Structure formats: C-alpha cells, structure tokens
Amino acid sequence: MESTENNTIKVAILDLYEGQANEGMRCIRTILSDWSKANHQPIVVKEFDVRLNKEVPGLDFDIYISSGGPGSPLETEGSAWEEKYFGWVEQLSAWNDGSNFPKKHAFFICHSFQLFCRYFQLGNVCKRKSTSFGVFPVHQMEDGHAEKVFAGLNDPFYCVDSRDYQVIEPNHEKINEMGGAILAIEKNRPHIPLERAVMAIRFSEYFIGTQFHPEADAHGMAMYLQREDKKKVVIDAHGEEKWKSMVEQLLDPGKIMWTYQHILPNFLTEASRELILH
C-alpha cells in the first residue's frame, strides 16, 4: 500500500466495556498501531465510552470499530446509551446508502455483533446453555471463502470465544435484504441437537461483524491467563484441563496468532482502500 503522508485516516473505537477491566481495548489499539506502521499510513484514533458516558462518534471519522463488552445484549434494549448507539448505526447506514464518498466501514465485535443482530432482527439472540469460553474452530461458509476480510485464513480457523449469549437461527431473508451474507458458523457437531451459532456476518457492503474476538492477541492473552489471579478464576470456573488447553492453543502459531494477524488488519486494508485512492 502506498504511503499517504498528508492523508491521515481517522479511526473511532466505540468502547462498550462499561468501565470493566478487559484485554479487548488494548488489543484493538495494538492492531491499529501495528497496521499503521506496517503500511506507513498515519492514523488518528479516538475512543468513545458508549455505555458509561453515552458517547458516540460523529460522521467525521473514516473507519469505526465497535468493541465487545460485558453483560446481556438483551437487557439493555431501550436504554439511553443504546438509543444513541443505534442512532449512530442508522446515521452511518444513511451516509453509505446516499451518494456520499468515501464510504465509511465499521466492524462489530462480539457484544456489538449481538446488539446489531438483535436490533436488525437478523437472528435469535439468546442465552447459551453454558458459557462458551476458550479457543474454538470456526467453519467458513461459501461466502466466507470469498470475503476479503477473511483472506489468508484457514478453514476452519481458530478464535477466542468468551460469551454467555449467542446468535442462532439466522433470518436469511433480512440478511439478504441488507446485502449481507453469513460468513462463518460454530463448529458443526451433527450428533449434538443444538442450533449452531452464527460466528461472522457481512452485514452490508460496508459493515461486517464477528461473534468471536478477532482482536485477541495470543501472547498477551497467554500471559494474562498465566497470572495467578486469572489462572485461579479460569480453573475455578472451567477446570485445570481447560486452562492448560487454552494456554497451549494460544501459543500455537497456526491458531489465534494467525486470526489476529489477518482479520482486523485485512479489514483496515479494505476499509482504507478508497480513502487512499480518494
């Protein structure tokens, strides 16, 4: 990609963590910084505390990343911060639907993905029978293989999952109406009579989201899980075998590191393409 010294890209991060300690924001910041250096592309990043301060960005940014977050994606329906948040989504959609240029790309992670699916009625957003926590394979659908943001991924590829909720029973008609496509699903287990969760959707030409955490930094998370306090939390909740397996899989270069190096960097490259040509 050519350097555009005088063309600084403005990125907004919508922080949905509600002030809770997390690794997600650190990981997103690192990916943005690394991508900027690798592509000799200056960027300016601003963060918005959506839930605590009811902050949302305006239309004066080029690229948007909406984070994961704690709690139920169902219980906050109608809250003041959600109204502002979906006002932002609608504004962005209207900009992209009009004759405005360049278009504005947005990536929705985990909690944001579930909120988006609930708001646009793209599937059944519900509580899981048990928490999904660990490193899991994700299977690409046909549209996933053609998705530029997934370029270079294996099939299956691996993700870090940490959620009590899920999006199942996708509404194909509504997804098609938006110009979207299902990109990936949870690992297929035909012997278990549970609906498989949708793990990634191309919502429209400019919006994409994943129900997993593509920003999860394998080394950082492995170090985090090896802290005595975090190790105890995981072992108490999920057992020692799950803790050992997670640390081992995080350090496998073909698994989480590979996902980290591809999905969000690919998104930034695709989202900035027309900005650089502009």
Cα–Cα nearest to 112, from 171, 200, 224, 21: 200
CA dist 155 → 94, 185, 218 (Å):
34, 11, 19
Q: What is the pLDDT of residue 172?
A: 96
Higher-pLDDT residue of 223 and 34 is 34
What token pair was written down for 43? 């960027």
pTM listed for this prediction: 0.94
Percent of the chain with pLDDT over 70: 95
Q: What is the pLDDT of residue 5?
A: 47
| Average pLDDT value for residue range 143-166 | 94
Mean pLDDT, the chain, as a whole number?
92
Strands (E), 121-277: 124-140, 157-168, 181-186, 198-202, 207-210
Could you tell me whether strands 63-66 and 124-140 are parallel, antiparallel, or unpaired per DSSP bridges? unpaired
pLDDT digits over 60-112, tens only? 999 999 999 999 999 999 999 999 999 999 999 999 999 999 999 999 999 99
